[in-house]
Structure 1
């Protein structure tokens, strides 16, 4: 397929899928007394709520919701991708589960480069070589094994029912089907699933039935993690990979294991922040930015004023520079200076370099040395709290919208294109945003760096905010702004999520602002300070829960930037 057509589709689909619909979303949160699930699809949220009502734990509801999203939200919900889960119990017990994808055993550092040293035809993002070894099923199974209350089969069955019986096609999904109709010769296995049996595209409101996916889910239901990484499903993946000249083998699948890791922890104005450690960069960068911002009186500057946005931008710039220089898979980077990056003293040194009225300059050669001793937007997030007060924040992804857009023939699920999150050109870091630093270069069985930022904020030892979002490298900054909106500016969970957002990632040296949310005067002041401003329609689709410490009541909000998100409580 012509590369320009590919890029045009990705751009067009990103816009369509991010258009706000203001259905359930808005500035008034949904309230509940017992438990709540917030996700990017109403059917999946209701599946999770039903699990809670049956006495399931927060992890049970997360597992059921995630499997349901793999059916109803194929652009991001998945069993062919990976992600992260942060858990915080009512008793204060906290942990995380890392089920990020891995590079196949046959992967090499320069596998995508041509003789000219440049990436060949975007091959790290497009095609079968872009696929990493999936981690979702292993991660959900591992979390359930430790914190599940209900039987595993009961959690997978609702997704099977949705795949077997079908659900109504949304407008974004119909848009993908129409695109696929024009490109079905390049994606024949995908066309079998997302075009009608007569070969025509689905229309909004049509019923989509996914029999192959239902059978794959049944194997997962009956055999647990072995139902995906071994047996028939593994055979289907491996044979498809061999046929298409991919790298993943049955050995890759059998060797894959999810990891339980301690969270990274910080404190912001008396609130404890629990996030994901590397290979997610989210927790470290979020805490580093909050540490920097803690030294400014944001409340007095005014919500989304030019001054407050200036401070946010400068904190983002410095944290993303550290992210690029230091962070990667800890199994391959044992000397990452996490303690320093998370420290208040490091933040203080960085804060001293921020001028109150002038933007800094991002330098691709120097990182933060003067101050120190392209990830896709298509991800999905769900937040859960159960009747006992246990909380889960879970973010998982296929990378781009619909991942590689390649379905495993006979298995019915889409594969990720996560290999694009590695630094494909070793040593090349430039002003356009290309990062080539060593910690995130490709190696066999290495997990690629991620910006996913499932986060739980606690107050006096109890869950207070459960938050996360999709959005590629914007994820960390979206989560940051929701937290700051609530703690510094007193917004409720829905107002904090609906507020306009901005993003800076060090390189390129540009601030991106949602076009509809900031006044021309604010933008002009920022430009006078030296910030380069560009606009975009939308940033992220946050899914959040707030637990009122005064009465224990639960408030949830699904971002109206999400086409079909829902907060479902009881």
Structure 2
């Protein structure tokens, strides 16, 4: 319509002015089209960069950096922003893992994952997986506010209130429902509509879901953020916000108490640190299985030689086999405060252990799960949001934050505006024995105050003591293979950062014994598909392949040495187009 109107103007008018206007309009339309085609999922920056799965939050993080804040300051603002605009993935009602490397040399892992309530028991669900998966009994004690504040207190520079304000403003003034958020809403439609006075209040109107592009305001969440800005975490864990939150959870039938909130503790640890082919990886220790699993997979694959040994269909087969071995071992992990995982972690980080597993890999065929020594059934964690930040001083934060499934427990606290997590679903529970199904993992059974096992894998990459990258992914069980493949693509296969993220991915979690491969058109019209020739080779080796319209979402920032004209390093930041995010930098 636009183009035909322009053509009519051109032929109906002989005036120079009309022709000039027409040319300008055509040029404007052309440039608009080019901009739409070339979405800025990858940027180059000289000073600092923020890669998140929502462009608005990337900009907020960059503004904090421009105001003199460091990567940790920006992380607080970004995490809170994501909880407002992507409430289906993360928020104040959830928890996070963060790996941090400061320019001063300090390396820290922050564990502010949710914990089981004090009234929780191993058999509280009576084998009912649905109660564990969603609803009030699936809610764990949230850690996000405590964790962000603890990390900021130790490493941040700007005033706390200044970092909370952008998220408060967004919640009060409103944000647009993105295509990805709408997809999450659609997937949980019945649960949203059933949550009267909660999620339905925000995301439905007249019994129907609100459409993409609709402005959503959450005044209760804005007020909660305002209180947190003024009073810090004490108002959440031992004040009016906490009291209201607990009352709402208990009215729904949950078991979280004010004592649970009072008792919550952030764990500040040393990150896992491992050398692989000249790179040093900083990862998250247990209860994350992501850090140890990534190291084990990369230690196995590095023995084949790079890039040739991990390239092509044979490289994909070897990756799948390494994944199967890693997933067999990882279910022996659990919360180290409750289970001794020293030997398991030591094995997973050991090059010698990786050598033994590599010997079991056959380049011509795959095997059933028993061959890999599987003892326990897998848990199926979900969702999450990952972001990476590198600032001007080269302080780095890789953080993965979550409420677990889409909209967590699919319940919203009406008095606080907070989406409740369903993190209890990440625990294993006793089940009746079933033929051909391994038993649940005792290391991950519920105990009061225990953290459930996680796949979250925030990772920082160093070389010769200097930062080379920050990477991670969201997507539950897809996180470990997703983050590993982005690392492999860039550091082993020498792909540029954008191609490393854009490349189609495969996933395998041992049980079920099949490869899930990307074959989907995302809500942003990008198509990702594993090539047919690769699939054919894998099938000949005995793999069962299943296409999925889903996968991990990765945010990557790479430091390129001497990338600028003056010889200094530059940053290349990529936000995964699968979720429609955009990076920001300056």
Instruction: Flag whether TM exceeds 0.5 (same fold).
Output: yes
Question: Post-superposition shift, 1:48?
Answer: 0.4
Q: 1:355 aligns with which of 356, 359, 362?
A: 362
Q: 1:328 aligns with which of 319, 322, 334?
A: 334
The corresponding residue for 2:257 is 249
Give 5+ residue unaligned stretches, structure 2: 1-35, 520-527, 563-567
The corresponding residue for 1:566 is 582
Question: Post-superposition shift, 1:178?
Answer: 6.6
Work out whether residues 25 and 559 of structure 1, in 8 Å CA contact, stay in contact via their aligned partners in 2. Answer: no
**Matched position secondary structure for 1:278:** coil
Work out whether residues 170 and 205 of structure 1, in 8 Å CA contact, stay in contact via their aligned partners in 2. Answer: yes
Tell me the distance in 2 between the aligned counterparts of 1:560 and 1:429: 40
Question: Post-superposition shift, 1:90?
Answer: 2.0
The corresponding residue for 1:346 is 353
Work out whether residues 428 and 437 of structure 1, in 8 Å CA contact, stay in contact via their aligned partners in 2. Answer: no
**Matched position secondary structure for 1:468:** strand
Note closer, same or farther for the CA distance 1:416–1:357 as it changes in structure 2 (3 Å cut).
Answer: same
1:411 aligns with 2:416: yes
Q: 2:506 aligns with which of 502, 506, 526?
A: 502
1:377 aligns with 2:382: yes
Q: 2:111 aligns with which of 88, 98, 120?
A: 98
Tell me the distance in 2 between the aligned counterparts of 1:484 and 1:177: 33
Return 357-366 or 125-134, whichever deviates more.
Answer: 357-366
The 5-angstrom pairing of residues 70-469 of structure 1 reads 70-113=83-126, 119-120=127-128, 122-174=130-182, 186-191=194-199, 193-195=201-203, 201-301=209-309, 303=311, 305-324=312-331, 326-337=332-343, 338-363=345-370, 366-367=373-374, 374-425=379-430, 436-469=440-473
- Report Cα offsets for 1:117-172 as digits up to 9, x if no partner: xx326111021100110011111011001100001111000101111111222234
The corresponding residue for 1:538 is 550
The corresponding residue for 1:42 is 55
Tell me the distance in 2 between the aligned counterparts of 1:260 and 1:315: 30
Question: Post-superposition shift, 1:494?
Answer: 0.9
Note closer, same or farther for the CA distance 1:154–1:183 as it changes in structure 2 (3 Å cut).
Answer: same
Tell me the distance in 1 between the aligned counterparts of 2:480 and 2:408: 20
Question: Post-superposition shift, 1:175?
Answer: 5.3
Q: 2:572 aligns with which of 555, 560, 563?
A: 555
Structure with more helix by fraction: 2
Work out whether residues 422 and 440 of structure 1, in 8 Å CA contact, stay in contact via their aligned partners in 2. Answer: yes
Question: Post-superposition shift, 1:414?
Answer: 0.3
Work out whether residues 398 and 458 of structure 2, in 8 Å CA contact, stay in contact via their aligned partners in 1. Answer: yes
Of structures 1 and 2, the one with the larger relative CO (CA 8 A, separation 6+) is 1
Work out whether residues 393 and 466 of structure 1, in 8 Å CA contact, stay in contact via their aligned partners in 2. Answer: yes
**Matched position secondary structure for 2:319:** helix
Tell me the distance in 2 between the aligned counterparts of 1:285 and 1:532: 23
The corresponding residue for 1:481 is 485
Give 5+ residue unaligned stretches, structure 1: 1-20, 114-118
1:24 aligns with 2:35: no
Work out whether residues 318 and 350 of structure 1, in 8 Å CA contact, stay in contact via their aligned partners in 2. Answer: yes
Return 516-525 or 210-219, whichever deviates more.
Answer: 516-525
Note closer, same or farther for the CA distance 1:218–1:510 as it changes in structure 2 (3 Å cut).
Answer: same
Work out whether residues 364 and 430 of structure 1, in 8 Å CA contact, stay in contact via their aligned partners in 2. Answer: no
Tell me the distance in 2 between the aligned counterparts of 1:189 and 1:494: 42
Question: Post-superposition shift, 1:359?
Answer: 1.2
Question: Post-superposition shift, 1:502?
Answer: 0.5
- Report Cα offsets for 1:72-126 as digits up to 9, x if no partner: 111113010111000012233211100110000011111112xxxxx32611102
**Matched position secondary structure for 2:287:** coil
Determine which structure has more spread, i.e. the larger CA radius of gyration: 2
Name the Cα RMSD after superposition. 2.2
Question: Post-superposition shift, 1:301?
Answer: 4.4
Tell me the distance in 2 between the aligned counterparts of 1:182 and 1:508: 28
Tell me the distance in 1 between the aligned counterparts of 2:504 and 2:572: 20
The corresponding residue for 2:29 is none
**Matched position secondary structure for 1:123:** helix
Question: Post-superposition shift, 1:23?
Answer: 6.5
- Report Cα offsets for 1:456-496 as digits up to 9, x if no partner: 01111111110011111110111111111111111111110
Tell me the distance in 1 between the aligned counterparts of 2:575 and 2:382: 17
Note closer, same or farther for the CA distance 1:257–1:469 as it changes in structure 2 (3 Å cut).
Answer: same
**Matched position secondary structure for 1:443:** coil
Tell me the distance in 1 between the aligned counterparts of 2:280 and 2:101: 11
Work out whether residues 103 and 442 of structure 1, in 8 Å CA contact, stay in contact via their aligned partners in 2. Answer: yes
Tell me the distance in 2 between the aligned counterparts of 1:364 and 1:190: 48
